[in-house]
Structure formats: structure tokens, C-alpha cells
């Protein structure tokens, strides 16, 4: 079964309480057995061109009529924005394991494991320049490459030789994660990172060693910032914890 389908198949259900699609982030609040939880995903969208009908979100205004699981299943849709909603719903539904979370961020994990090693990062994160002198070599793959980045299409040439691979959780939304994981050496240390990352141990079965994601601790404040086009730094300050879920028997050093 494909990776995304397996994640969706294992989800519990819940009631969708709120859906917020912001300029940068999408948030979905679900109620599971009387507990409200909020999941995040970076907002994907199709470009808008004058003279053409702008892309629509199917059932806009009616998304809270879905069950949580039915909304998450829309992650298989072709609509980029609907996929963002679906991944946020999935992240809200995944059973939480607070006793297993380690309080640290992806940058620290990569710096520890990447010391004197070759690191490939899929996605240009804001901490790239801080990280570069801390690791042996850092190669950044990006769909829209900037100075010093390689085009994402070069993944087959560089990922198999990497000792540490750090992949943005957005690759689940654009359906490229499975192919990227297949490129990783069996000996590579693999991190899936970013607020869109599902904190689901099922991903360990696919070769991921650390899930570095986000947990919403103040739902109402986060919803307000998401709705007002907040970037992740603002969303983080509004009420988000950065945590790691580590595969059993894996060391961060």
C-alpha cells in the first residue's frame, strides 16, 4: 500500500470543528472523543491568471460537514489547496504521544548527526546558512532553487550518496515523499521535518528515523494568526511546540 494511503487508512475519526486556509498556513481543528486538536499544513495553491476562472476549493463553506477522516482522505485529490486542508486534518487526527516527544528542533538534530558528514536537505529552510558550517557538507535541493541550491530534479544524483537526509514534510502533500525515501541509502539517517510533518510512527517503517514536527498548544491564537496571513514564526509564537518523535533505538548523536 502506498505510504500516504497507509497513513490515511490508520486514522481514527473525529468531528471537524474549524477549517482555516491562510495565505501561508492551513489549520484544521477536530474533536476526537471530546478533545479538540489542531493540525497544520503549509498552504499549497495553483497560480491565478487574469482571464481565467481562479481555482476553487471544492465544497468551500461546507468543509466542516465532513467527518475528520473523510476530510483527511482528500489528501489524494489533485487540488493543491484541498490537499493542504486534508494533510492538516490528518495531522489533527493522528493520536498524540506526548510522553514520546523530545523537545528540540530539526536544526539541532541535523547539526548533531551531520557533523563531518554529507547532508542533503530537500527544501531550503531558513536555518540553512547557520547549519552549513556545522556539518561536513550541505547540499540543498529546491523546486525553486536560489543561490547555492540544486534543482529538485537532481535528487537521484545526490540523495543516494548522503549520510544524512532531511526532507520537508511538504513532500507528503505534493506526493513526492515515497520516491525520495526510496532514493536514500539504507545506512542514511533520515529526518522528516517541518510543521506539515505527521507525527505518526508508521513513517518509521519507510526508513524515517526522526519526525521533527509541530504541536499546536493554543488553538484559538494559532487560528487567528493563520487567518491573518501569519508566517510560521508568528504561528509558532502564537502557540506551537516544536517536537521530535524518534524511532526506537535510534540515537541523535
Q: What is the pLDDT of residue 50?
A: 38
Q: Which of 244, 241, 243, 245 is nearest to 216 (CA)?
A: 241
- Considering the entire predicted model, what is its pTM? 0.93
Asked if the structure places residue 106 within a domain, the reply is yes
Q: End of a domain among 95, 122, 157? A: 95
What is the C-alpha to C-alpha distance for residues 116 and 252, in angstroms, rounded to an integer? 14
Q: Which of 86, 3, 14, 83 is nearest to 46 (CA)?
A: 83
Q: Assess whether 205 and 173 both reside in one domain.
A: yes
Residue 84's domain comprises 3-95
Q: Assess whether 125 and 212 both reside in one domain.
A: yes
Q: Assess whether 211 and 108 both reside in one domain.
A: yes
Q: What is the pLDDT of residue 46?
A: 61
Domain count, the chain: 2
More confident: 146 or 235: 235
Q: Which of 223, 224, 194, 226 is nearest to 210 (CA)?
A: 194
Q: Assess whether 191 and 120 both reside in one domain.
A: yes
Does residue 181 register a pLDDT over 90?
Answer: yes
Does residue 218 register a pLDDT over 90?
Answer: yes
Q: End of a domain among 95, 122, 140? A: 95
Q: How many CB atoms within 10 Å of residue 99?
A: 5
Q: End of a domain among 78, 95, 112? A: 95
Amino acid at each position: 500500500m502506498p505510504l500516504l494511503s497507509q497513513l490515511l487508512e490508520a486514522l481514527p475519526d473525529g468531528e471537524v470543528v474549524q477549517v482555516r486556509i491562510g495565505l501561508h498556513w492551513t489549520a484544521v481543528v477536530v474533536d476526537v472523543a471530546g478533545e479538540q486538536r489542531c493540525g497544520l499544513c503549509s498552504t499549497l495553491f495553483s497560480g491565478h491568471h487574469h482571464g481565467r476562472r481562479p481555482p476553487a476549493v471544492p465544497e468551500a463553506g461546507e468543509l466542516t460537514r465532513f467527518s475528520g477522516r473523510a476530510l483527511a482522505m482528500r489528501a489524494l485529490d489533485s487540488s493543491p489547496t484541498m490537499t493542504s486542508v486534508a494533510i492538516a486534518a490528518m495531522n489533527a487526527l493522528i493520536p498524540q504521544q506526548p510522553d514520546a516527544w523530545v523537545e528540540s528542533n530539526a536544526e539541532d538534530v541535523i547539526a548533531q548527526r551531520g557533523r563531518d558528514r554529507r547532508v542533503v536537505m530537500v527544501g531550503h529552510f531558513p536555518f540553512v546558512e547557520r547549519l552549513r558550517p556545522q556539518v561536513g557538507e550541505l547540499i540543498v535541493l529546491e523546486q525553486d532553487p536560489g543561490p547555492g541550491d540544486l534543482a529538485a530534479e537532481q535528487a537521484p544524483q545526490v540523495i543516494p550518496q548522503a549520510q544524512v537526509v532531511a526532507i520537508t514534510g511538504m513532500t507528503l502533500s505534493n506526493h513526492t515523499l515515497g520516491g525520495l525515501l526510496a532514493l536514500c541509502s539504507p545506512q542514511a539517517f533520515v529526518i522528516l521535518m517541518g510543521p506539515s510533518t505527521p507525527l505518526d510512527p508508521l513513517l518509521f517503517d519507510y526508513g524515517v528515523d526522526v519526525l521533527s514536527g509541530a504541536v499546536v498548544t493554543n488553538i484559538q491564537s494559532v487560528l487567528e494568526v493563520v487567518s491573518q496571513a501569519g508566517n510560521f514564526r508568528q504561528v509558532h509564537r502564537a502557540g506551537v511546540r516544536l517536537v521530535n518523535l524518534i524511532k526506537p533505538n535510534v540515537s541523535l548523536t
